[in-house]
Amino acid sequence: MYVLNFYSPVFIDQLKRGRKTATIRLGDKASKYKKGHVVLVTVGFQHSPREKIFEAVIDAVEVKRVKELSPRDIEHDNPEFRRLDETIHFLEQIYGRPVDHDDVVTVVHFSAISERPTEITERLRTGPKQN
């Protein structure tokens, strides 16, 4: 099983509340993350204990240039950001190097897997909707 790890504890709340539903990773990660794969979402620093947040299913994997990131990509990666320059600055801090508009990134969209999502429980209780 692959792991989607986040270094900043700031993301714990965003992940748990379902506000962070994507991650933007520098480079082409399409061979590592595939649509439909299950991953473990964790928070912690490399070579240190990490906190398991939840398991998730990969909904989509998009490889594109930094300049092609949409406002939706940016918001799903970090709900506090709205502008490309904020995302670039953040990537530079994480990766410790300058990030250019032509650099390749991978946007990994994911959905948390819960034991029994409320929506499913409600459907089971009320049965299928009639038209």
Backbone region of residue 107 per phi and psi (left: phi > 0; alpha: psi in -120 to 50; beta: other values): beta
109 domain-assigned? yes
Q: Is residue 85 helix, strand or coil?
A: helix
131 domain-assigned? no
- What is the helix (H) or strand (E) element at residue 16, kind and residue range? helix 10-16
51 domain-assigned? yes
Q: Which residue has the tokens 């904020």?
A: 86
Length of the chain: 131
17 domain-assigned? yes
Q: For residue 63, count other CB atoms closer than 10 A to its CB.
A: 14
8 domain-assigned? yes
* Domains contained in the chain, number: 1
Q: What CATH number should be reported for the domain holding residue 10?
A: 3.10.400.10
Taking only the tens of pLDDT, the chain with its 131 residues reads 899 999 888 889 999 999 999 999 999 999 999 999 999 999 998 888 999 999 999 999 999 999 999 999 999 999 889 899 999 999 999 899 999 999 999 999 999 998 766 666 676 777 666 55
Q: Residue 109 belongs to what domain range?
A: 2-126
